[in-house]
Structure 1
């Protein structure tokens, strides 16, 4: 029973980290677009790519935690 609670804590921390990471990406991208609106399409493309990489790593961590839990 203890393994399930540890897995639940791990899953919660992973989801929290993913949300915080994507939030920081969005914040930085919005600030950069406000400073230089002429390159906002390039910034948006880079933001989407980085967010997808974070979600992929987070999904891998979620599956691994679930399998080990």
Structure 2
């Protein structure tokens, strides 16, 4: 019976490591899943008066980068891919 005493410890260790990995990737580029994009973009575009185009372009960018910057404005440095998508004129495409 003493040989099985390490099993609970091993289970706890694996569980703690998986949680740590998920937490370390939170908010970083590529940390979202495709199904998370609408919710993240809904919050990102919540304070704009141009909601429909904001949601369209935010979802487009999120699907390409799997990242949306935190907040409703700014913080683009959190998602370099999101920040680097430009229009033909060189302006930021992603809200």
Calculate the TM-score normalised by the size of structure 1: 0.39
Which entry has the higher C-alpha Rg, 1 or 2?
A: 2
Calculate the TM-score normalised by the size of structure 2: 0.30
Structure having the higher helix fraction is 1
Flag the structure with more relative contact order, 1 or 2, with Cα contacts below 8 A and sequence separation at least 6.
Answer: 1
